């Protein structure tokens, strides 16, 4: 069973303009464009453990192992997260649930330091803040309370020059 917080992270790991939003500014998306790596979950370095409550009211544990987010200069995004979630069942604690890597994508818009992401596969919209090279995404649960905080750091440009053909 997947944790709602991680599902929302992936879906929120960039969202989109809705009809009421302002158009994407080319300068904003160009400055934000790049690869971001998941660094912490709820202030803990990876692998990080977090607790959630599933729809049946069970306390579930999620271990987040890694994640990456690609923001394109065209206002498109793609993200992947690898996690393992276990919820207690009548058969046991649920620790035998295999790890899962999920890939999501969509579009995004930037207003000042706020990024609005739209996950086209899940039809969800979420928000993150971007200050310098650090993207902070706070997950808000269905009850309106914060359930998790994910921090991603932008990779320096120089790493991409390693694959350049001779």
Does the residue 39 lie in any domain?
Answer: yes
At 29 the pLDDT is 64
Does the residue 35 lie in any domain?
Answer: yes
Per-10-residue mean pLDDT, the chain, length 166: 43 33 46 91 88 76 90 92 81 69 90 88 82 85 72 77 49
Q: Give DSSP secondary structure letters for 35-57.
A: EEEEEEETTEESSEEEEEE-TTS
Does the residue 129 lie in any domain?
Answer: yes
Q: What is the CATH number of the domain that holds 117?
A: 2.40.160
Does the residue 161 lie in any domain?
Answer: no
**Cα 121 from Cα 99, distance rounded (Å):** 21
Q: Which helix (H) or strand (E) holds 26?
A: helix 26-32
Does the residue 97 lie in any domain?
Answer: yes
Angle formed at CA 33 by CA 32 and CA 36, multiple of 5 degrees: 90
Q: Which residues span the domain enclosing 85?
A: 4-156
Is the CB of residue 3 less than 8 Å from the CB of residue 9? no
Tally Cβ neighbours within 10 Å of residue 165: 3
At 71 the pLDDT is 93
At 15 the pLDDT is 36
**Cα 48 from Cα 152, distance rounded (Å):** 13
At 77 the pLDDT is 93
Is the CB of residue 125 less than 8 Å from the CB of residue 15? yes
At 94 the pLDDT is 60
At 37 the pLDDT is 95
At 151 the pLDDT is 95
Does the residue 166 lie in any domain?
Answer: no
**Cα 17 from Cα 110, distance rounded (Å):** 9
Total count of domains within the chain: 1
Does the residue 42 lie in any domain?
Answer: yes
Does the residue 163 lie in any domain?
Answer: no
């Amino acid at each position: 069973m997947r944790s709602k917080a991680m599902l929302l992270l992936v879906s929120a790991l960039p969202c989109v303009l809705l009809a009421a939003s302002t158009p994407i500014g080319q300068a904003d998306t160009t400055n934000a464009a790049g690869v971001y790596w998941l660094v912490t979950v709820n202030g803990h370095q990876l692998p990080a453990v977090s607790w959630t409550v599933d729809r049946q009211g069970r306390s579930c544990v999620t271990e987040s192992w890694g994640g990456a987010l690609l923001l394109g200069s065209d206002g498109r995004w793609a993200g992947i997260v690898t996690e393992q979630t276990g919820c207690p069942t009548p058969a046991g604690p649920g620790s035998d649930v295999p790890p899962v890597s999920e890939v999501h994508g969509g579009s995004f818009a930037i207003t000042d330091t706020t990024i609005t992401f739209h996950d086209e596969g899940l039809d969800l919209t979420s928000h993150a803040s971007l200050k310098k090279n650090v993207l902070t995404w706070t997950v808000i649960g269905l009850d309106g309370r914060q359930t998790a905080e994910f921090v991603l750091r932008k990779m320096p440009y120089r790493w991409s020059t390693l694959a350049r053909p001779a």
